[in-house]
Structure 1
Amino acid sequence: MTAATMPRMQLRLTPRGHLWLEEAVDAPTLDDKVAARLAETFGRGIGYGLLQLGAGEIGQSLPPAFIWWRDFAVRYVEAVCLYGSGGAGEKSSPAALATIAPPAEAELATLVLTAPMMPGAEYLTVDILRKLWADLGTAFTASFAAAGTDLQAFLKTLNPAWNLIGRVHFNLAENRRDPERPFAFLATYTTRLSAQARAQHVPLGQALREYAGAANRDKLLSLLMPVQRAAEHVSWLKAMVDAGEIFHPLRWSPTEATRLLDSVPDLESAGVVVRLPAHWRAGRPSRPQVTATVGSRPPSGTGLDALLDFRMDVTLEGEPLTAEEMASLLAGTETLVLLRGQWVEVDRPRLDRTMRRFKEVQNLAEQEGLTFAEAMRLLAGTEATGDDESAAAADWAHITAGAWLTETLRALRSPDGAGVDPGPALKGRLRPYQRAGVEWLHLLSGLGLGACLADDMGLGKTIQVLALLLIQKRTRAAPKPSLLVAPASLLANWAAEIERFAPELNARIVHPSAMAAEDLKQVTVEGLSGLDLVITSYGSLLRLPVLGQTPWHFVVLDEAQAIKNPNAKQTRAAKALKAEARIALTGTPVENHLGDLWSIFDFINPGLLGSVKEFGRYTKALAERPHNPYGPLRDLVRPYILRRMKTDKTVIADLPDKTELKALCPLSRKQAALYAETVTDLVRALQDADGIRRKGTVLATLMRLKQICNHPSQWLNDGKWAEADSGKWARLREIAEVVAARQEKMLVFTQFSEMTAPLAAYLGGIFGRSGLLLHGDTAVKNRKALVQTFQEDETVPFFVLSLKAGGSGLTLTAASHVVHFDRWWNPAVENQATDRAFRIGQKNNVLVHKFVCQGTVEEKIDALIEAKKGLSEDLLAGGDEINLTEMKDEELLRMVALDLRSVMVE
């Protein structure tokens, strides 16, 4: 089976702490037999799947996320082995095994911090790990009880590597009284657990006496199985086993002790536990380290090319070694050397290579300077080249940030917002986390470095950018203009937010929706120089060369996932823009794979992650590391990404429970043509209409216009429902893709029952799973079951409801997004529908998306709803209900008139 045909599987953690195994196009490949076993066991339940990972897939080559979950499950199986090693012939009952406690909170917290990048990693908590530990226990005890055998035999059916009589330990200790043979070796095995759940050891030789006789032969063989397995790969151990020396205490020389150290991976993979002197940190003797300090002083220059200082030393336990000590270490032949009263492990070739590499860096820094990008790669433990030698040398080298760089990184990683103030020019209040975000952007841009503001949807990326622009306008004497690039459908949103929060910014939309074609042709570099902000679309970067010729202060990309494809023309155009600093805004910095992250970083900080080929080799090498493989990459990119989530308690406490957003939607050409035709028909109809007839004509026209704004197929009844025909369809996709990526749920309300089925079919294609729908024809007796399914079934991602049927009386707090696909004239009805999710029992913030087709009657009705003061009395009737049928002809036609420049976006 080739890699192309191997199953692609991933493990996904849901917001409720369930772990699902699923197929995904961009997931890593699995061996087909492994995939089949995992599919079968995860199909039985999460605990059974984890048990198969931990007990059945030992030694298998797996992707990083599977390895991490396997390591978690192994902890449980190891605890079972230790708990169940009470003695030969003793059966451990399922009830007894069910009482095994999970690891300590500190260990679980460390596991959470070292989790690899995987779908749902942001939901991982200590409590969820405890719950999954309990699921493991339930699956294990149920399987054990069903097997009807003893613990030893049961675990053997899962994998022969699990030995139930006891675990063999190879113990190495220092023996300072014997200078010729300064180490002692003893093989032991565990017989039981103490009251403190610690394994108690007896010499392995005692097993020969305890299991003497033919009746105990199988038990003795079982005990020695890990040793026999290890001896197949470790020649010195085979000789010891053949000679019977493994059963006796031995005095060892440094060379013999080194053999054990070098064989630790083979021994542990065979099931032998290696115990080294307790004062050896991380299970190894101390090592001399080549250390360096980078960035002690402020750099010369800005950006990734800023030059920093670099100083090298060789240390032991943090203390510099003298030249004589270094010469002594390098001149010897033994791997273990007694230095300063302690045993030191020396890999002379590697130590020498590392010293020479650091010396070259120091010479470069002294002669030419070390760039900020090079310093960050060194500091993160990688040079983004995929060089295996660099990764291996990291164990023998340590680079720390100097005083200036330490303080800079602290400010970047933990901004507090104390140092920024856009002043009264910002017509709004920055929340604490937003103020911190502005400070972070200000600090990075001041250093000439790029930034990726990756806040979750609804946390206010827009106002943070506007505040930054206002600060720049106030503090720079003659600022260059900045450029904002956004999807065409969001240009009007930005204009509205500028008018609301930063009206002092001199901003211009350079796009066909806001400027005539002739005016666009006349745009020049000089003409843009007097502006604070130029706003355009990704498509316009290709059509307007002047944008690439203009020197910008900032270039800001909104919805920056638009450049995730490095080969796309618009990606190349965006990366070719000239700017002093670059900012990417996105709620999904990694949509499908790490290549997305590389492309964004290639825009904000070109070269930091190397070339695309270098990055590919580097991430492939990282994925092969057994523990916390992506730690170096996280360290490298962390200063340049600011990510806050709605689920973060420090953010939730500062946010309102409900945030309402206007989703401004363009019209397609087909929609615009049908809309204009309808308005023309209305003009003719009003000439002959009066009284009831006039009111009926107006209502019918308004309904027709709303249907066209939704989708032409709703009015034409042609059954096509093409995505390209509706601006709302496209906007719904943008929102739904983010909701799907976050594994959240959404409600979609429409006043038209005939829209529910097409919406449900369209959303099903986006989410990859079916949702639910409810309208007036849904039997009342079935509605309770639909609500219960939506509330309890995590696989149901959305619920489409007609406003009248589902807008009241239901509790749908599983949803954290509410979409009003078409607007009701009465805002109270909309609010009531929103309250299906925003009510008692809701644990998450609710984002409300109100769809409005710009340049149409929907936008004007929205303005009337939002700004009721100043309206003529004949526009309002019955409280908040807006009555358009009583308008005069002239007012009505102004209300439904089509603004062609703003409705269509290409």
Structure 2
Amino acid sequence: MMTLEPVLTPHGLLTLRQTAQAPASEPEQGSRLEKAFLRGSGHGLLWLGADEVATILPPVLSYWRELGMRYMTALCALHSVGDGRTKPPVPIPADGELDTMAAAVPPMTGAEYLTTSVLVNLWRGMDAAFDAELVQAKLSVQEFLKSRHPAWNLVGRVHFNLAENRKDEEAPFAFLATYTTRLSAEAKAQHLPLGKALQEYSGARNRQRLLSLLMPVQRAAESCPWLKTMVNAGDIFHPLRWSPQQALQFLRDVPALESAGVVVRMPASWRMNHPARPQVKATVGGNAPSQLGMDALLDFRMVVTLEGESLSKAEIKRLLAHSDGLALIRGKWVEVDHERLNRTLEQFEAVERRAAADGLSFGEAMRMLAGAGIAGDKTAAPADIDWSQTVAGPWLAETLATLRHPDWLLRVDPGQYFQGTLRPYQQSGVQWLYLLTQLKLGACLADDMGLGKTIQVLSLLLVIKNEDRGNRKPCLLVAPASLLANWAAEIARFAPSLKTVVVHPSAAPSEKLNTYSADKFADVDLVITSYGFLTRMPWLETTSWRFVVLDEAQAIKNPAAK
């Protein structure tokens, strides 16, 4: 536990020192404070006021934190503090505020040196420290405030609050503009009705603070006619009853309000500050298909949901019949956009009809999960992501999970036929490749150079060979001509039981190569050739292989490649 106490020097510098008599602090907290004060009094006070607002501190440190919090509050009240990366100097408190604070200093070492002028110098030190740390952080002022403590981003700002009022059928919403002037002891922004600002900042001396507070409201009113009307009429300073139509207009103008600097607060029951939206939810691959691979036909099921609960046909019909706006469904306010909802429904219904008639392929299912439409199908364009959701059903979800986590799979082992030891990540790679071969899907093994892609492929070939004893079918390996000898050497070293034939002029004379045909390799495990020679031997192209391995696969990345 750190035992720290503040000390004021005769020259007005505030420092920290360790002492056995001071109340103990948490080690991490004490370390942070020491580090800040080592940079100077201003940095230390700034840390206390900006970062330790909700921390339990000894009385003497709490006193100095109060000075730091007063500085932060005054900073937040500046009208020019926004998205910029600089700020003007923070005005020194007037009206004897610092005189009162100097007179209330608790017992501490150097308390006799504390005067109003010392507090003024410490205030200026905090201002310089803030500017220096802002430059170092390379953030806007508001971003920097939020990084110190999220609540500071709310102080000194106007808040527009929307709440539900279920007891009023004609006006089921209430609107109230508030502002925050300080943080509570729990580091929560304290709200006051905006009308109170007219009283708090009354008088010519406080006119600038009032204008600063209302500046974001004036900016927002320039792009929101309804707000401009409220400001001109003075309604902005009073609680208001609102209809669903007024609440919807407010909802749609949230981006404009926030960009102007107004903080928007929605009903607590609205997730992510937004009313519920009906979603067209599609589930793909609930059951295992009759066959696997890219040609597998997956099932497709569609429902309309509201916050995860399925809606009945009657409720869907009611939603579609409702005009755009906010509708009360199942006791919840729901946003209705008739055109977008109807368009999304039509798109998913078209996919559902197609799936019922012809099935949905694995590739098409992957496109839908990725938020893309089905290639070549104009009726299945990408759906509106705000009004739709496509999820994997139980079978497809489990399959995708095992693809992402091959270590979950049962271990596949090339056994004694592999003359080497696979590292853990190589074993995972073999399991992943094996799963994809079982699903009849292709794979791109993209481990970095030197991490053993070759021996992972050879291990897979050995596993397949041991499994397919009764159904022998050769595999084809295509590689750049310069790597053919390397493959032959690696096979001889790690997988000598693989019966391999190299079909290339570097391994056999042209006369012999011209006599080769598919039926000559019935008892061969692996045929190796080059990209260039592949195009010169038509039978290589027409033969049905167990699978094909392409080394240096960038050779075929272009669709126009031979």
TM-score, normalised to structure 2's length? Answer: 0.70
Shift of 1:259: 0.6
Maintained 8 Å contact 1:94/1:142 = no
1:741-756 paired onto structure 2 within 5 Å: none
1:115-154 paired onto structure 2 within 5 Å: 138=133, 140=135
1:310-325 paired onto structure 2 within 5 Å: 310-325=300-315
Q: Show CA shifts across 1:351-409 (max 9, x none).
A: 22222222222222222111111111112222276999955622212222222112111
**1:502 aligns with one of 480, 495, 499:** 495
Q: In the alignment, does 2:534 pair up with 1:534? A: no
**Corresponding residue number in structure 2 for 1:36:** none
1:721-800 paired onto structure 2 within 5 Å: none
CA distance in 2, matches of 1:536, 1:137: 65
- Aligned-partner residue type, residue 558 of structure 1: D
Q: Compared with structure 1, are the counterparts of its residues 327 and 540 closer, same or farther at alpha carbon in structure 2 (3 Å cutoff)?
A: same
Shift of 1:183: 0.8
Q: In the alignment, does 2:286 pair up with 1:296? A: yes
Q: 3-state SS of the aligned residue for 1:222?
A: helix
**1:336 aligns with one of 311, 322, 326:** 326
Q: 3-state SS of the aligned residue for 2:545?
A: strand
**2:486 aligns with one of 467, 487, 493:** 493
* Structure 1: tracts of 5 or more residues without a match: 1-79, 100-135, 145-150, 156-161, 574-906
**2:467 aligns with one of 475, 481, 484:** 475
**Corresponding residue number in structure 1 for 2:162:** 172
**Corresponding residue number in structure 2 for 1:442:** 434
Q: 3-state SS of the aligned residue for 1:551?
A: coil
Maintained 8 Å contact 2:374/2:381 = no
**Corresponding residue number in structure 1 for 2:116:** none
CA distance in 2, matches of 1:249, 1:562: 69
Q: Compared with structure 1, are the counterparts of its residues 494 and 192 closer, same or farther at alpha carbon in structure 2 (3 Å cutoff)?
A: farther
CA distance in 2, matches of 1:406, 1:95: 55
Maintained 8 Å contact 2:323/2:336 = no
CA distance in 1, matches of 2:383, 2:195: 38
- Aligned-partner residue type, residue 224 of structure 2: V
Shift of 1:231: 2.4
Q: Compared with structure 1, are the counterparts of its residues 81 and 241 closer, same or farther at alpha carbon in structure 2 (3 Å cutoff)?
A: farther
Q: Compared with structure 1, are the counterparts of its residues 143 and 341 closer, same or farther at alpha carbon in structure 2 (3 Å cutoff)?
A: closer
Q: Compared with structure 1, are the counterparts of its residues 167 and 433 closer, same or farther at alpha carbon in structure 2 (3 Å cutoff)?
A: same
Q: Compared with structure 1, are the counterparts of its residues 165 and 406 closer, same or farther at alpha carbon in structure 2 (3 Å cutoff)?
A: closer
**Corresponding residue number in structure 1 for 2:335:** 345
Q: In the alignment, does 2:386 pair up with 1:395? A: yes
Q: 3-state SS of the aligned residue for 2:444?
A: strand
Q: In the alignment, does 2:253 pair up with 1:260? A: no
Identity of aligned residues (%): 60
CA distance in 1, matches of 2:379, 2:256: 21
- Aligned-partner residue type, residue 227 of structure 2: L
Q: Compared with structure 1, are the counterparts of its residues 389 and 406 closer, same or farther at alpha carbon in structure 2 (3 Å cutoff)?
A: closer
Maintained 8 Å contact 1:382/1:390 = yes
Shift of 1:468: 1.1
Maintained 8 Å contact 2:155/2:189 = no
* Structure 2: tracts of 5 or more residues without a match: 1-70, 80-89, 93-122, 146-151
Shift of 1:170: 1.7
Q: Compared with structure 1, are the counterparts of its residues 484 and 470 closer, same or farther at alpha carbon in structure 2 (3 Å cutoff)?
A: same
**1:410 aligns with one of 368, 377, 401:** 401
CA distance in 2, matches of 1:228, 1:389: 45
**Corresponding residue number in structure 2 for 1:246:** 236
**Corresponding residue number in structure 1 for 2:148:** none
**Corresponding residue number in structure 2 for 1:555:** 548
Q: 3-state SS of the aligned residue for 1:333?
A: coil
Q: Show CA shifts across 1:51-109 (max 9, x none).
A: xxxxxxxxxxxxxxxxxxxxxxxxxxxxx99894268955676758979xxxxxxxxxx
**Corresponding residue number in structure 1 for 2:506:** 513
Q: 3-state SS of the aligned residue for 1:553?
A: coil
Q: Compared with structure 1, are the counterparts of its residues 479 and 349 closer, same or farther at alpha carbon in structure 2 (3 Å cutoff)?
A: farther
CA distance in 1, matches of 2:230, 2:75: 29
**Corresponding residue number in structure 2 for 1:233:** 223
Q: 3-state SS of the aligned residue for 1:261?
A: helix
Shift of 1:240: 2.1
Maintained 8 Å contact 1:85/1:193 = no
Maintained 8 Å contact 1:85/1:190 = no
**Corresponding residue number in structure 2 for 1:326:** 316
CA distance in 1, matches of 2:460, 2:505: 27
Q: Compared with structure 1, are the counterparts of its residues 195 and 463 closer, same or farther at alpha carbon in structure 2 (3 Å cutoff)?
A: farther
Maintained 8 Å contact 1:87/1:165 = no
CA distance in 1, matches of 2:381, 2:199: 50
CA distance in 2, matches of 1:373, 1:337: 38
Q: Show CA shifts across 1:161-194 (max 9, x none).
A: x999833322111112211111111222332344
Maintained 8 Å contact 2:373/2:380 = no
Q: Compared with structure 1, are the counterparts of its residues 255 and 308 closer, same or farther at alpha carbon in structure 2 (3 Å cutoff)?
A: same
Q: In the alignment, does 2:273 pair up with 1:283? A: yes
Shift of 1:263: 1.3
Q: Show CA shifts across 1:737-790 (max 9, x none).
A: xxxxxxxxxxxxxxxxxxxxxxxxxxxxxxxxxxxxxxxxxxxxxxxxxxxxxx
TM-score, normalised to structure 1's length? Answer: 0.45
CA distance in 2, matches of 1:442, 1:224: 65
Maintained 8 Å contact 1:254/1:334 = no
**Corresponding residue number in structure 2 for 1:685:** none
**Corresponding residue number in structure 1 for 2:194:** 204
CA distance in 1, matches of 2:272, 2:155: 28
Maintained 8 Å contact 2:368/2:374 = no
Q: In the alignment, does 2:366 pair up with 1:376? A: yes
Maintained 8 Å contact 1:300/1:307 = yes
Q: Compared with structure 1, are the counterparts of its residues 219 and 515 closer, same or farther at alpha carbon in structure 2 (3 Å cutoff)?
A: farther
- Aligned-partner residue type, residue 525 of structure 1: A
**Corresponding residue number in structure 1 for 2:120:** none
CA distance in 2, matches of 1:139, 1:407: 48
Maintained 8 Å contact 2:479/2:552 = yes
Q: Show CA shifts across 1:114-135 (max 9, x none).
A: xxxxxxxxxxxxxxxxxxxxxx
Q: Compared with structure 1, are the counterparts of its residues 441 and 277 closer, same or farther at alpha carbon in structure 2 (3 Å cutoff)?
A: same
Q: 3-state SS of the aligned residue for 1:436?
A: helix
Maintained 8 Å contact 1:307/1:372 = yes
**2:422 aligns with one of 424, 430, 444:** 430
**Corresponding residue number in structure 2 for 1:308:** 298
CA distance in 2, matches of 1:321, 1:362: 18
1:43-62 paired onto structure 2 within 5 Å: none
Maintained 8 Å contact 1:165/1:219 = no
Shift of 1:258: 0.5
Shift of 1:449: 1.1
May I ask how many residue pairs the two structures share in their alignment? 441
CA distance in 1, matches of 2:433, 2:385: 32
Q: Compared with structure 1, are the counterparts of its residues 293 and 392 closer, same or farther at alpha carbon in structure 2 (3 Å cutoff)?
A: closer
For the pair shown, which has the larger CA radius of gyration, 1 or 2?
2
- Aligned-partner residue type, residue 344 of structure 2: T
**Corresponding residue number in structure 2 for 1:809:** none
- Aligned-partner residue type, residue 85 of structure 1: C
CA distance in 2, matches of 1:309, 1:458: 42
Q: 3-state SS of the aligned residue for 2:76?
A: coil
Shift of 1:412: 0.9
Maintained 8 Å contact 1:187/1:246 = yes
CA distance in 1, matches of 2:127, 2:480: 60
CA distance in 2, matches of 1:529, 1:485: 18
- Aligned-partner residue type, residue 135 of structure 2: F
Shift of 1:480: 2.6
**Corresponding residue number in structure 1 for 2:76:** 85
- Aligned-partner residue type, residue 350 of structure 2: E
Q: Compared with structure 1, are the counterparts of its residues 220 and 391 closer, same or farther at alpha carbon in structure 2 (3 Å cutoff)?
A: farther
CA distance in 2, matches of 1:414, 1:230: 50
- Aligned-partner residue type, residue 499 of structure 1: A
